[in-house]
Chains A and B, each alone.
Chain A
């Protein structure tokens, strides 16, 4: 999913602009996940996020001629999604009369304790274990519980596997900020998840077949 050939991307954009509109469908397929999950992260509502995702891709289509080849197409679309999400959030906030003034959403650099959960051993949880819905649910909950500025970085960097530069461009922050936030996000995830995940490690058999 993280492999995009910039040459062929630019070529297909050129063809779309020249009239082969249907190519837009394939162009955006790798963007659907990051766009939707970025909007979920901001709006926290599935219906609203889906609507905003459609709007994002329509804007991307209408403004395709403005895309400059210096960024990856996916990065460009995710930053459109982020603006769309923040714009909708501002409208919702204005409508809410009792909105507490806390600055723009997600802007606060949460201070907190980023020390990890202390463990003395770790047994690897194999990737297949994600098939178990309880594990997947725990992972989703932990990510949802992150402060937004950390969640967005994890979403693009670790979940959608963008690199640090693309993540910085999509979120309009510096690469240094991406690294700091990523570090904190991972520390927070390790802290909340490690104690809960232990039970998912494959059981080792001890003496006489007892569980070790």
Chain B
């Protein structure tokens, strides 16, 4: 089946995740062979998804983890988890 660009855009996210019906995938692949716009849209979307996943983009604030575990130590020294259930 021939599909148009708009149709391709609707499925880009599922296409990237591989969560797409094989027939539709084949139709999209065929469209991508000749459509430079959809190819660029797909490549740029995939590139963005890869970039934002990098741990360096979002970093925990300095010392957050240490402060958290220190607070937990205080909590734990108050007793095992079950004992504080009544709160």
Known: A24-B72, A25-B72, A187-B9. A121 touches B41 (CB 8 A): no
B36/A57 in contact, CB under 8 A? no
Q: Is the CB of A158 within 8 A of B75?
A: no
A194 near B71 with CB under 8 A, answer: no
Q: Give, as a whole number of angstroms, the nearest-CB distance from B30 to chain A.
A: 19
Query: A179–B44 Cα gap in the complex (Å)?
Result: 19
CB distance from A91 to the nearest CB of B (A): 18
The chain B residue sitting closest to A55, CB to CB, is: B71
Q: Is the CB of A193 within 8 A of B40?
A: no
Q: Does B3 contact A (CB under 8 A)?
A: no
A19 vs B81: C-alpha distance when bound (angstroms): 9
Dominant secondary structure of chain A at its interface with chain B: helix
B37 touches A119 (CB 8 A): yes
Given A33-B60, A140-B58, A187-B9: A161 touches B87 (CB 8 Å cut-off): no
B57 contacts the other chain (Cβ, under 8 Å)?
yes
Which residues on the B side are within 8 Å of A164 (C-beta)?
17, 19
B64 proximity list for chain A (CB < 8 A): 32, 36, 50, 53
Indicate if the CB atoms of A183 and B13 lie closer than 8 Å.
yes
Q: Is the CB of B51 within 8 A of A125?
A: yes
List, sorted by A's number, 29 A–B pairs whose CB atoms are closer than 8 Å.
A1-B55, A19-B80, A33-B58, A33-B60, A36-B64, A37-B58, A50-B64, A53-B64, A54-B72, A57-B68, A58-B71, A63-B81, A120-B37, A121-B40, A124-B47, A127-B51, A154-B52, A158-B49, A164-B17, A179-B19, A186-B13, A186-B45, A187-B9, A187-B45, A190-B44, A190-B48, A193-B48, A194-B44, A197-B48
Sample of 9 more A-B contacts, CB < 8 Å, known A61-B75, A129-B51: A61-B81, A116-B12, A127-B50, A140-B58, A159-B52, A183-B10, A189-B48, A189-B52, A197-B44
